Amino acid sequence: MIKAWSNIRITEKNLDNLTPEETEIIGEYFTNTEKRRSSRSVDKKIEHAIGALEAKLIRYIREENNLELAYEVINKFPDFRHFDNVVHIRNQLEFRKCEKQNTLKGYLEFINKYPDAAQVGKAGKYINKLAFEEVKRINTVEAYEDYMKKYPNSNEYGAAVKGRNAAAFNRAKGINTLKAMEDFINEYPDALEVAEAKRIQKQLLYEQAKRIQTLEAYNEFIKKYPEGNQYIDIFNLKSLDLGMKFITKNQIEWNNLMWSRSFDNNENPESTGSLAVTKNNNYILGVTTPQEDGLWNDAWILKLDSDGKMIWNKFAGRRYEDNVARIAVNPHNDIITAGYTYLSTDSASREIWVFKLDSEGKKIWSRSLGKWDLTSMLAGNNEVVIGGYVSNDSVNNYSIIVINNEGRKLWKRDYTGTGEVNALALTADNNIIMAGSKWGAKMSLKGYLLWEVTFAPYDSITGVAVSNSGDVYFAGIRDFEKSVLYKYSSNGVKQWDRDYQSFSDVENLYKIICFDDRIIITGNTILQSFILTLNSGGNLIANKSLSRNLIITDIATDLYGNLLIELLTDDILIIKNSGINL
Domain boundaries along the sequence of the chain: 1-64, 139-212
| Cα three-residue angle 533-263-582, rounded to 5 degrees | 15
> Looking at this protein, which amino acid is placed at residue 423?
A
> Looking at this protein, which amino acid is placed at residue 347?
S
Residue 451, SS3 per DSSP = strand
Q: Are the C-beta atoms of 466 and 425 separated by less than 8 Å?
A: yes
Residue 494, SS3 per DSSP = strand
Task: Per residue of the chain (582 residues), give pLDDT as tens.
Answer: 889 999 988 888 888 888 989 888 988 888 888 888 777 888 888 888 889 999 999 999 888 888 999 999 999 999 898 999 999 999 999 889 899 988 889 988 998 999 999 999 898 898 889 999 999 999 999 999 999 999 999 999 999 999 999 999 999 999 988 889 989 999 999 999 999 998 887 777 777 766 656 666 667 766 676 665 666 777 888 888 888 888 888 877 778 899 999 988 877 788 888 999 999 999 999 999 988 776 888 999 999 999 999 899 898 888 888 999 999 999 999 999 999 999 988 888 899 999 999 999 999 999 999 999 999 999 999 999 999 999 988 899 999 999 999 999 999 999 999 999 999 999 999 999 999 999 999 999 999 999 999 999 999 999 999 999 999 999 998 888 888 999 999 999 999 999 987 655 555 657 899 887 889 998 887 778 888 899 999 999 888 888 767 788 899 999 999 999 998 888 899 999 998 877
Query: What's residue 217's pLDDT?
Result: 66
Q: Which helix (H) or strand (E) holds 29?
A: helix 20-33
Q: Are the C-beta atoms of 263 and 287 separated by less than 8 Å?
A: yes
**Residue 288: which of 92, 566, 2 has the closest Cα?**
566
Q: What are phi and psi of 251, to 5 degrees?
A: 50, 45
Query: What's residue 377's pLDDT?
Result: 95
What is the model's pTM? 0.68
Residue 225, SS3 per DSSP = coil
Q: How many CB atoms lie within 10 A of CB 153?
A: 7
Q: How many CB atoms lie within 10 A of CB 230?
A: 18
Q: Are the C-beta atoms of 282 and 304 separated by less than 8 Å?
A: yes
Q: How many CA atoms lie within 13 A of 95 on its CB side?
A: 21
Handedness of CA 405, 406, 408, 414 (dihedral sign): positive
Quote the radius of gyration of the chain (alpha carbons, Å): 47
DSSP 330-397: -TT--EEEEEEEESSSSGGGEEEEEEEE-TTS-EEEEEE--SSEEEEEEE-SSEEEEEEEEEETTEEE
Strand-pairing partners, residue 434, are 424, 441
According to DSSP, residue 15 is labeled G
Q: Which helix (H) or strand (E) holds 553?
A: strand 551-557
E strands, 406-471, in order: 409-418, 421-426, 432-436, 439-443, 449-454, 459-466
Q: How many CA atoms lie within 13 A of 133 on its CB side?
A: 8
Residue 267, sorted as left (phi over 0), alpha (psi -120 to 50) or beta, turns out to be left
